[in-house]
Copies of this chain bind each other. A is one copy, B any other.
């Protein structure tokens, strides 16, 4: 997919991309000549421009403007030209320090990670919590709230905690709740959603077992919905950065993007489509199948415990995104979360 370009074309394309990312205005042949001595004249650059435009790497907004990279141009840049550096060590340390200052709470980690990512990449950040592909029962707890209501807390193997209120048809005491939860804890131990469902279907509940039946049903439902796409919680931050980008001065575009960012389900679909199994994935403009993101780029990475609980995180910004920095930021935060998760859940 990525052809070969002559050395000089590469150099020129690289300059255009970098310059455009930095200044947000079309890059002219003179600019390149003066600011970057390439040893050739502006006319030569223009000839190259013409060819690069022909080949689809560059485009010009109007007949008499400089050149701007196309999605294909950015793609070539990301693939071949971009120098990938790590985040500066000082920054790494600062971030790591922040993580060690907060308590061992997944929710807090996610918030912090989203904030850090947004700040570091100066764009909107997205994080989908790591989640096992298969739900596996670990523990259930029933807590009496009032005579007629109770709280069910379900913990799955991936340490996700699910809670749900229950309304009873007749008064139920805490002892009864404890009895049922104890029983179910043994019955469902380590079961996946299928197994649990099988048990429920195989059991004939008498009228006395109404509570047990209800709780079992709820557990199976929760496990199934946990396995379904579209239920992962998503953390976001840095939406304001979007509005700072000159490509979004026309409010209408900004609104489109913000709309996507605000809607949980679209975002879930986008993130779960990402093929982030191995390392970082960059999605540039129209490469995405979502029309609303035609002007945007995504830098995504998977993280979590391979095979056990996979999460996705990344940043979203205009196509004119500082890819180098974004990639380093995303990679660092992903590896940091990997560390933290491993320390907690890994053996």
Seen from chain A, the residues whose Cβ lies within 8 Å of a Cβ on chain B are 103-107, 138-139, 141, 143, 145-147, 149, 151, 153, 155, 159, 161, 163-167, 237-240, 243-244, 248-249, 251, 254-255, 258-259, 262, 343-347
Chain B residue, CB-CB nearest to A249: B251
Contacts A151-B159, A163-B161, A164-B104; A145 near B345 (Cβ below 8 A): yes
Contacts A143-B139, A149-B345, A151-B159; A105 near B164 (Cβ below 8 A): yes
For A165, the chain B residues whose CB sits under 8 A away are 104-106, 159, 344
CA distance A104 to B215 in the complex (A): 13
Q: Is the CB of B155 within 8 A of A161?
A: no
30 A–B contacts from the bound complex (CB under 8 Å): A104-B164, A105-B164, A107-B163, A141-B141, A141-B153, A145-B159, A145-B344, A145-B345, A146-B345, A147-B347, A149-B344, A149-B345, A151-B155, A151-B159, A151-B161, A153-B155, A161-B161, A165-B344, A167-B344, A237-B262, A239-B239, A239-B258, A243-B251, A243-B254, A243-B258, A244-B255, A248-B251, A249-B251, A251-B251, A254-B254
**Closest CB-CB distance, A329 to chain B, in whole Å?**
19
CA distance A201 to B123 in the complex (A): 46
CA distance A326 to B106 in the complex (A): 36
Nearest 7 CB-CB pairs, A to B? Answer: A104-B165, A243-B255, A240-B259, A139-B143, A161-B163, A240-B258, A105-B164
For A258, the chain B residues whose CB sits under 8 A away are 239-240, 243
For A163, the chain B residues whose CB sits under 8 A away are 105-107, 161
For A164, the chain B residues whose CB sits under 8 A away are 103-105
CA distance A346 to B167 in the complex (A): 12
For A343, the chain B residues whose CB sits under 8 A away are 167
Contact of A262 among B153, B240, B249, B255 (CB under 8 A): B240
For A254, the chain B residues whose CB sits under 8 A away are 243, 251, 254
CA distance A161 to B141 in the complex (A): 12
Chain B residue, CB-CB nearest to A347: B146
Chain B residue, CB-CB nearest to A141: B141
Instruction: Contacts A106-B165, A145-B344, A165-B344 known; list 20 others, CB within 8 Å.
Output: A104-B164, A104-B165, A106-B163, A107-B163, A138-B143, A139-B141, A145-B345, A146-B345, A149-B344, A151-B155, A151-B161, A153-B153, A153-B161, A159-B165, A161-B163, A239-B262, A240-B259, A243-B251, A248-B251, A251-B251
For A146, the chain B residues whose CB sits under 8 A away are 345-347
**Closest CB-CB distance, A345 to chain B, in whole Å?**
6
**Closest CB-CB distance, A339 to chain B, in whole Å?**
13
CA distance A145 to B106 in the complex (A): 14
**Closest CB-CB distance, A147 to chain B, in whole Å?**
8
**Closest CB-CB distance, A30 to chain B, in whole Å?**
31
Q: Is the CB of B155 within 8 A of A143?
A: yes
CA distance A244 to B262 in the complex (A): 15
For A248, the chain B residues whose CB sits under 8 A away are 251
**Closest CB-CB distance, A254 to chain B, in whole Å?**
6
CA distance A259 to B242 in the complex (A): 11
Q: Which among A139, A161, A165 has the highest number of chain B CB atoms within 10 Å?
A: A165
